[in-house]
């Protein structure tokens, strides 16, 4: 292999390795919608809604519409996926069925469960037994490996009603150190082969 051929082979190898690593890091998957039920998927009396499988450190995001409402019981307990954090008034066309201007939601504070505190009526995610508040929108990394489960956060599911659609999007998993080491080993091998040819 002459110097020009070696240079071209080296450039192709490094370029392919970088392109593969970039695809693994930055390529988003299509968003998938999941319907979370305030009764069936309650953190108190229900079960989490299984969504997608994630690896620890993998980027993902969740989002829900602020116009998509569910309830923790009698008025004023209607909220979006962000939870019961402030006054909310009926529009006359929302899920509450109340007359426009009626106060349908208010701040109910935080509910402490599974070692976290989050607003009543908010979306909380769980991976492998570890819980994290997600709210109306979340963008970050998976705190553990496993299936992401979504919960309606509250103390009693018996009077809950309504459903909220949550879009979950994940990026492709970051390449593992072994994959990066493999690319490095290939480069070292190529350099050794070049040295032997010159000797």
Q: Please give the pLDDT value at position 22.
A: 46
Q: How long is the chain?
A: 199
Together in a domain, 3 and 61: no
Nearest to 166 by CA among 39, 38, 77: 38
Count of helices and strands (H, E) across the chain: 2, 14
CA proximity to 50, closest of 165, 152, 147, 157: 147
* pLDDT recorded at residue 119: 98
Q: Are residues 73 and 34 in the same domain?
A: yes
Domain coverage including residue 157: 28-171
Token readout for 86 is 């402030």
184 and 110, same structural domain? no
Question: pLDDT tens across 43-59, in order?
Answer: 999 999 999 999 999 99
Contact 156, 39 (CB under 8 A): no
With beta carbons less than 8 A apart as the criterion, state whether 138 and 54 touch. no
Instruction: Grade residue 127 by pLDDT with cuts at 50, 70 and 90.
Output: very high
| Between residues 49 and 197, the one the model is more confident about | 49
Answer whether residue 27 shows pLDDT above 70: no
pLDDT digits (tens, 9 = 90+) for 57-114: 999 999 999 999 999 999 999 999 999 999 999 999 999 999 999 999 999 999 999 9
Check: CB of residue 94 under 8 Å from CB of residue 57. Answer: no
Examine the domain organization and report whether 11 and 70 are in the same domain: no
- Could you tell me if 139 and 101 lie in one domain? yes
Provide the pLDDT confidence category of residue 172 given band limits of 50, 70 and 90: confident
């Amino acid at each position: 292999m002459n110097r020009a051929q070696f240079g071209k082979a080296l450039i192709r190898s490094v370029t392919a390795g970088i392109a593969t690593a970039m695809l693994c890091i930055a390529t988003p998957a299509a968003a998938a919608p999941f319907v979370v039920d305030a009764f069936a998927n309650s953190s108190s009396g229900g079960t989490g809604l299984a969504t997608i499988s994630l690896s620890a450190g993998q980027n993902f995001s969740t989002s829900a519409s602020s116009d998509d409402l569910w309830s923790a019981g009698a008025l004023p307990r209607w909220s979006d996926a962000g939870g019961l954090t402030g006054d909310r008034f009926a529009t006359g066309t929302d899920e509450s069925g109340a007359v426009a201007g009626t106060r349908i939601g208010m701040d109910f504070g935080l509910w402490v469960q599974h070692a976290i505190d989050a607003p009543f009526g908010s979306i909380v995610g769980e991976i492998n037994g570890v819980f994290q508040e997600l709210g109306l929108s979340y963008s970050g990394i998976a705190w553990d490996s496993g299936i992401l489960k979504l919960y309606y956060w509250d103390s009693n599911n018996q009077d809950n009603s309504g459903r909220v659609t949550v879009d979950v999007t994940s990026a492709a998993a970051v390449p593992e150190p072994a994959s990066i080491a493999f690319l490095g080993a290939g480069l070292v091998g190529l350099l050794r082969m070049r040295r032997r040819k010159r000797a």
